[in-house]
Amino acid sequence: MGKYRDDAEKLLEYVGGKENIAAVTHCATRMRFVLNDQSKANEKAIEEIPSVKGMFTNAGQFQVIIGNDVSTFYNDFTDVSGIEGVSKEQSKAIAKNNQNIVQRAIATLAEIFTPLLPAIIVGGLMLGLRNFLEGVPLEALGGQTITQASTFWNGVNGFLWLPCEAIFHFLPVGITWSITRKMGTTQILGIVLGITLVSPQLLNAYSVSSTSAAEIAQNYTWDFGFFTIDKIGYQAQVIPAMLAGFLLVYLERFFRKWIPEAVSMIFVPLFSLLPTILAAHMVLGPIGWQIGSGISWVVNAGLTSPLNWLFGFIFGGLYAPLVITGLHHTTLAIDSQLVADFGTTNLWPMIMLSNIAQGTAVLAIWFLHRGNKKEEQVSVPATISAYMGVTEPAMFGINLKYVYPFVAAM
């Protein structure tokens, strides 16, 4: 008999039985259900199951927090239910039936940027270190920066620019690759498209503002006789890369549908890639640049204007509710655009403080309810998770349950 067989049988009954489960899988700590009718789930009864540490609904999935032993629980659940589990990707695909168009758009955006997060995070850490090394005069060094006082650290600072440039200047390559990966089209075409947006033969995006229109017309144009196209790069630009990536996906799907399979290897990539590159440099790139710059200008103005206290109060207060809806993923694109336009972003420090606040609220509940062994199984790991940047266990497992800790953290 399995370790969690009794609890698994109860969970099966309380989610509405086998016939109410469209798909089930698990992640590191949670059982993930796609339910045909979520109203049939008896949430109050589920909370009383000894193994269950909380539950919430996100992205069309009914998620039950089990903890680190979730894989064992999952095996017992599939045994008692007779339901064959699916992969997380299959579960997400099925869950889309429970999402409206806005939720689907947000989920798509999140799945595009999530694979890029490790690079963006490590790049941000290295940029922060470089800013300290080269930009902070220290009294102990006679008012010099570390790079001015040390040949070794000056070398380290210079070397670190190599990965930082690869991550941020060439971000469009990652974005177009991730879009083709997410949408199930040819990934190498996405990589090639991204490279055409940041090619060394183009005028670097960071040099455009300091280059005259006359010089651009003379040295950075493709002249086709009756029209010209500016050779402008889109280093670190987010929206131009996204627009180009989605056009590539649409064209590839369109031509793959109509071009005979015998010649599709030749003509589908050709008819998909070349028009997209042209459109990217003629239309999508300039339009996307203006949109991205407009958004980052508005956000930066909010962060730096005399009313920045009001902007910070609103954004900081509303960020946690944004996490519940999934809308917080949209800040990734804004962050990247802020770094591209202004060299920094003040949103991530605010987000970090919001995460810490949610974790600390859980810590306070743990202190007030100490001795509650069942709740401690949720609150302790949830606090650590929130301090590390993942607040869903804290919010759904504890704070929203009592409401006041959630509001207090906001």
Could you tell me which residue, 176 or 100, shows the higher pLDDT? 176
- Calculate what percentage of the chain has a pLDDT beyond 90: 36
**Upper half-sphere CA count for residue 66 (Cβ side, 13 Å):** 25
d(CA 98, CA 281): 38
d(CA 269, CA 263): 11
**Averaged pLDDT for residues 252-281:** 94
- The one catalytic residue in 27, 129, 156, 291 is 27
Query: Residue 348, class by beta-carbon neighbours within 10 Å (0-12 exposed, 13-18 middle, 19+ buried)?
Result: middle
Q: What is the mean pLDDT of the chain?
A: 86
Model confidence at 245, in pLDDT bands (50, 70, 90)?
A: very high
Q: Is the pLDDT of residue 91 over 60?
A: no
Q: pLDDT at position 95, please?
A: 57
Q: pLDDT at position 88, please?
A: 56
Helices (H), 141-259: 146-149, 151-164, 171-183, 187-198, 213-219, 239-258
d(CA 337, CA 292): 6
Per-residue pLDDT tens for 51-89?
Answer: 887 787 766 788 888 877 888 999 989 888 888 765 556
Highest mean pLDDT, choosing among 47-56, 106-115, 311-320, 340-349: 311-320
Rg, C-alpha atoms of the chain: 25
Q: Is the pLDDT of residue 159 over 70?
A: yes
Model confidence at 301, in pLDDT bands (50, 70, 90)?
A: confident
Q: pLDDT at position 396, please?
A: 74
Model confidence at 98, in pLDDT bands (50, 70, 90)?
A: low
Nearest 5 degrees, angle CA 384-CA 387-CA 392?
A: 80
Model confidence at 226, in pLDDT bands (50, 70, 90)?
A: confident
Q: pLDDT at position 320, please?
A: 87
* 27 classed as catalytic: yes
Q: pLDDT at position 86, please?
A: 59
CA distances for 41 relative to 47, 215, 311, angstroms: 11, 66, 39
- Calculate what percentage of the chain has a pLDDT beyond 70: 93
Q: pLDDT at position 99, please?
A: 64
**Averaged pLDDT for residues 237-258:** 93
d(CA 113, CA 333): 8
Per-residue pLDDT tens for 127-150?
Answer: 888 988 998 899 999 999 999 999
Per-residue pLDDT tens for 360-383?
Answer: 999 999 999 888 877 787 788 888
Model confidence at 3, in pLDDT bands (50, 70, 90)?
A: confident
C-beta separation of 222 from 231 below 8 A: yes
d(CA 316, CA 351): 7
